[in-house]
Amino acid sequence: MSSSHNTQEQLARIRAVQARADNPVCKVSGLASIRLSRPDLTEAVRFFTDFGLSCIHNDGNLALLRGTGDSTASVVIERGPARYLGFSLTVDSADDLQRLAAAHGVSVADNHPQRGGQVIVLRDPDNLVVEVMHGWTHLQELMHSEVIPANRPGHSPRINRTVRLDYKHPPRIFRLGHTVMGVTNFVNSLGWYQQNFGFIVSDFQMMDNDPIPVVAFIRCDRGDTPSDHHTLAMGSAVEIGHMHTAFELPDMDAVVAAGVVLNRRKHHHTWGIGRHILGSQIFDYWRDEQGDMFEHYADGDLFDASVPTGYHAFGGDAMHQWGPDLSADMAGKIPSLHLVQTVVSRLRNRSGDDLSFRRLKNLIRHAG
């Protein structure tokens, strides 16, 4: 269900943040990887290989995994307490990296030998590690999962051939797509990402009586070159930090087959299969042993820089066009102890924090 034109205009008027920065330090080209720490690398690697990634390095202290089309490891796991540490963005020029380094007073360093090239390490307003990479050693593409051509009315590429899917092995993930985080102060965080990296807001989700958006889906500004509808998304609700990270599979059949394999291997299903509204992708959500959420997706939107920002009402029915009702887990109705502690601490310690009792009540009312 899309918002009416009037609602869009009204939400655009009240929003407290801009849709894109006028003069960003640079424009990043993509998301290269997420960084995690896990107490048991064997268990973590098992989850991600069951999810469809290939492990390319594991020495017991550091594990690297990738999709078939990723040009560098897209999941970097170090041994340590279970945490989401941050992520790595990419820039197309060494000048961009130098400019960012100068703007933040940090040095450009050689990246880990497994990755190559140069890197700078920044901290976002919530202290999340944001690396920016340039000149990394591009990995060769691996063999992709097979895509069986689909017959459609008037277009039948599959003749004398059947559809038989493999439900025994995980379909191979193509690449890392996006990562989503909850932030303490939405205006600060969105402004920081826009001003430093040139991100464009593809869509805002908002409540009708609050200038602070609940969600912003943001994409890379690559001019005429299409970019994923969202490379990052940020939420101003109850969670702080990692909300989920998404990986692309070739098509809907692969998303279904991947789910069958994960179910058989006793992994924890969260919500799906369905099709989102904002981003349009087919989705299926899972949690790993540590409770972090990961998404399989296929067939997402690609926008170039010309597409204007959309404004949409936030609500429980605003997430998907078809699929099962929002699960209790996805809707936050079975909060973890960690989430309860986060909410209590945010409500107690309000300095610069968007969350208040009033906003919490408003969020619950709008979520239905």
Binding site for Fe ion (CB under 5 A): 246, 295
* Beta carbon of residue 311, minimum distance to Fe ion (angstroms, whole number): 19
Closest distance between Fe ion and the C-beta of residue 32, in Å? 17
Q: In this structure, what token pair is assigned to residue 347? A: 């409500």
Question: Cβ of residue 37: shortest distance to Fe ion, in angstroms?
Answer: 22
Closest to Fe ion by CB, 284 vs 295, is 295
Between residues 119 and 262, which has the closer beta carbon with respect to Fe ion?
262
| Min separation Cβ 330 and Fe ion, Å | 11
- Under 8 Å between Cβ of 170 and 258: yes
CA pair distance 23, 198, nearest whole angstrom: 8
For residue 125, count other CB atoms closer than 10 A to its CB. Answer: 17
By beta-carbon proximity to Fe ion, the closer residue of 187 and 246 is 246
Return the number of the residue (72 or 179) whose C-beta is nearest Fe ion.
179
Q: How far is the CB of 87 from Fe ion (least distance, A)?
A: 14
Q: Considering beta carbons, is residue 124 or 295 the nearer one to Fe ion?
A: 295
CB of 111 to Fe ion, least distance (A): 27
Q: Would the CA dihedral through 46, 48, 54, 59 be positive or negative? A: negative
**What are the residues whose beta carbons fall under 8 Å from the beta carbon of 346, sequence distance 6 or more?**
184, 238, 240, 353, 355
Considering beta carbons, is residue 21 or 256 the nearer one to Fe ion? 256
Whether the ω angle into residue 273 lies within 30 degrees of 0, i.e. cis, is yes
**Whole-number Å distance between alpha carbons of 249 and 258:** 9
Please say which residue, 47 or 247, places its beta carbon nearer to Fe ion.
Answer: 247
Residue 142 CA to residue 138 CA, distance in Å, equals 12
CA geometry: angle 195, 227, 322, nearest 5 deg: 110
Residue type, 129: V
Nearest-angstrom CA–CA distance, 326 and 323: 9
Report in angstroms how near the CB of residue 275 gets to Fe ion at its nearest: 12
Name the minimum Å distance from CB 83 to Fe ion: 20
Of 70 and 96, nearer to Fe ion (C-beta) is 70
Closest-CB residue for Fe ion? 246
Residue type (1 letter), 299: D
CB of 230 to Fe ion, least distance (A): 7
Per DSSP, the residues of 32-74 read EEEEEEES-HHHHHHHHHHHT-EEEEE-SSEEEEE-TT-SS-S
Closest by CA to 52, choosing from 298, 322, 280, is: 298
**φ, ψ for residue 343, nearest 5 deg:** -65, -45
Query: Is 14 in a helix, a strand, or coil?
Result: helix
Q: Distance (Å, rounded) from C-alpha 300 to C-alpha 307?
A: 15
d(CA 230, CA 243): 14
CB nearer Fe ion, residue 21 or residue 262: 262
Sequence letter at residue 23: N
Q: Which is nearer to Fe ion, 176 or 246 (CB)?
A: 246
**CB of residue 318 vs Fe ion: minimum separation in angstroms?**
14
